[in-house]
Amino acid sequence: MYKRIYRIICVFLLISLLASVCGCEKEEESGMGFMFHCALPANPACLDPQYSDSEYADVVIANIMEGLMRADENGTPVEAGAESYSITDDGLYYMFNLREGCVWYRSGMKEGEEIPVTASDYVYAFRRLLDPVTQSPHASYFSCIKNANSVMAGTLPPESLGVTAPDDSTVLFQLEYTNAEFLQLLTMPCAVPCSEDFFLSTNGRYGLDAQTVICNGPFYISKWNYDTYGNDNFITLKKNKLHYDADNTAPSSVQLTILRSQAAVEKLFSEGGCDMMITESSPVSYLGRKEYHVYPQRATTLGLIFNPENEILQNENLRLAIAKGINRAAYAPVLSDDMKAAYGVIPPAATLLDSSYREICADEPLALPYDPQKAAALFERAEDELQLNSLNSIRILMPNTITDTDALLTLCQEWQTLFGQYIGIEAVTPTEYERRLQSGDFSIALYGVQGSRNSCYEVLRVFTKDASLMGFESSAYSSIMSKLATSSRIADSVPLYTAAEQAILDTHTFIPLFYKNTYLVATAGNREILFDAFSDVLDFRRAKHFSE
């Protein structure tokens, strides 16, 4: 009898083992169930979505939280916390029906303790976002909401904001004026819900550690270890099995190692200590190797800006001479794959209507055509006006992380031929580059224009935010941007974007030279990692790992 029982037990153990092995093989074949390792260049510090202004925090928030909408692989807004939505014909009312099964969860919660995400959580989040007490760096993005400007100014209470909850599963936005990008705005990390009860229970520590973060996304924070003086710093994200789309969340967990610099991240990746990295440096050592996959996105436009305090460089004829003396066809052949000759302002990675904006609007007609005779004549005129003897003091300041300098040297040699004057290049560390820009210690700088998110409008807004740095001023641009801010349809915005680019280029305060790549580099087998080169956010929900 005992032998029979023993045999039965052995059979059950064998069946269990075979089931386990088959399950593992099935997961391996599907790419599901992998624990990814990634690294952050710094500690996120605070994971309060409405308050934080850290790109490293955004990486975490994008994976543990979600709002009504999220951006898909093309940057197009798709439903997330919302099951569906409707927009009135006048474009002033947006109604969202919440998805069933959305709950709040955090580490340590027992089964049955989870709390439903309700429409009131969204209302409270937007009131916090616009409340001047919060001092949110993101508030101005949502100035299109009714009474938003008055709430931000403190002349109306947050309760008067045009965000309401007709019932627990419906969120209604009333806008002050139409905004064609409103759905895109709702994909931002700051537009996620906030549980008022939980927020108040943290006693002012919301988002500062794992115990004061509550999640409604595909992952939750299992552990957050950070010691300013220590080295064993990390954030562990685990799959949220209560998420409505948990069956399609591929990884079992994500381990985020917290380092102290981008250089440390790149070193760790090169040593095999993590599965992927984002870098702006050309990943030459990883290209063409079967052990790695390299995903480039041309998300930055590099161009020349001129110190507005430099009397020589503020001469209109001199800047026009420089612009007309740029032969992009001559330096394009010496560019590596890292960069491409740029004629416009908005980079190719910026999408519009599910396509690259640059595929919709060609950039070549935008920039001034190369005209060596005209350039030389304009330079002579500038020499007379300025009583100019030499340009020896003029240098192009650039970060030394841009190693593809042959095109710039070709350009400088062209100017020397045309003007009889040589403009040199000064490459410095990224830290020194930023310091010099902010202190005004430069004459000409190679400057990167990049939006904070995948949006043509956000790219153009750089010229509003950095106007003083560039000495940029254009009434035509301001008028076009006002029209874009109140446009009701994305399709209607296309000619306005082109007009705004042209208005920028007509001032000759920014002269585009290159479209530059930002890269996601991943070890072989790691696929379907959503990567936004504008915000440097990685979305792991669909990330899969296959043995190769």
From the CB of residue 79, how many other CB atoms can be counted at a distance below 10 Å?
15
Q: In sequence order, what DSSP letters do the residues of 493-531 get, joined into one string?
A: HHHHHHHHHHHHHTTTSEEEEEEEEEEEEEETTEE--EE
Instruction: Please give the radius of gyration of the chain, using alpha carbons only, rounded to the nearest integer.
Output: 27
The whole-angstrom separation of Cα 419 and Cα 321 is 9
Residue 399: predicted pLDDT: 94
Compute the C-alpha angle 473/183/242, nearest 5°: 135
Residue type, 49: P
Q: Is 125 exposed, middle or buried (0-12, 13-18, 19+ CB in 10 A)?
A: buried
CA distances from 188 to 142, 179, 183, 252, 468 (A): 11, 15, 10, 25, 27
Residue 14: predicted pLDDT: 42
Strand partners, 256: 38, 235
What mean pLDDT is predicted for residues 70-82? 92
Q: What is the pLDDT of residues 522-540, one digit of tens each?
A: 999 999 999 999 999 999 9
The whole-angstrom separation of Cα 10 and Cα 24 is 21
Residue 404: predicted pLDDT: 84
Residue of 425 and 404 predicted with greater confidence: 425
Q: What is the pLDDT of residues 175-206, one digit of tens each?
A: 999 999 999 999 999 999 999 999 999 999 99
**pLDDT tier at 11 (50, 70, 90 boundaries)?**
very low
Q: At residue 211, does pLDDT exceed 50?
A: yes
**pLDDT tier at 3 (50, 70, 90 boundaries)?**
very low
Residue ranges and CATH numbers for the domains of the chain are 35-280+524-545 (3.40.190.10), 296-518 (3.10.105.10)
> Which among 300, 281, 290, 350 is positioned nearest to 519, based on CA atoms?
281
* Helical H segments across 362-420, by residue range: 372-386, 406-419
The whole-angstrom separation of Cα 131 and Cα 116 is 25
pTM of the model: 0.91
Among 113-117, 178-182, 272-276, 346-350, which stretch is predicted with the lowest mean pLDDT? 113-117
The whole-angstrom separation of Cα 218 and Cα 230 is 29
**pLDDT tier at 28 (50, 70, 90 boundaries)?**
low
Q: At residue 78, does pLDDT exceed 90?
A: yes
CA distances from 103 to 98, 99, 205, 260, 383 (A): 11, 10, 22, 34, 69
